[in-house]
Structure 1
Amino acid sequence: MLVFVVIAFGGGRQGEAGGLAALGALPVALIVIVIGTSLGGPTGYAINPARDLGPRIAHFLLPIKGKGGSDWAYSWVPVVGPVIGGLLAGWASVVLLPILT
């Protein structure tokens, strides 16, 4: 959704400032807030791979007394998920947003 909203509010063809691009970063900020409030609990706001992998690697490396496992079985989800989602959003924008074609 994030990539699709960025493309949709981007104004269309390269170099044009039409559409809702006049709102600047507001639509992107709002979609980040919506994604975070809807999925932030289960995923820890991991819509950015670095947001999940950085703390996971630090947890694995740092000598924290009484720490549990770093749950590496889940670590691929915040990396692969956004890549696949971004690719699907790019394809969907070509299909659903006729301004871009």
Structure 2
Amino acid sequence: MLEFGSSPHVTPLDSVGEMVREITAEVLRDFKPGARWSIDPVRSFRDQGLDSLARVELRIRLAVRTGLDLPAALTAQCTSPAAVADYLRERLAVSPVAGPEPEPAAPE
């Protein structure tokens, strides 16, 4: 399984689309066992078999994987894997990188 940003040769922003497709396939396998899925990045989630409950699960898994607080209406606003990937790329590009807190300046 691809861990978000796990490859030293692929930046996290480059792997976002692949991550969305992978998690979409995981959700479909969990909600429709035994089915084989090929995720089309531009085809709508509904057309690929995700009902509303599966789309909620997709949003939760994406939030866990990315560490982002994602809106409840994410898959209603972004109706395909490509649209969700674009949204995540934008959010990741402006999200502050977690790091050590800066040291307070010493009083003079």
What TM-score, normalized by structure 1, do the two folds share? 0.32
| Structure with greater Cα Rg | 1
Bigger relative contact order, structure 1 or 2 (CA pairs below 8 A, ≥6 apart): 1
* Structure with greater helix share of residues: 1
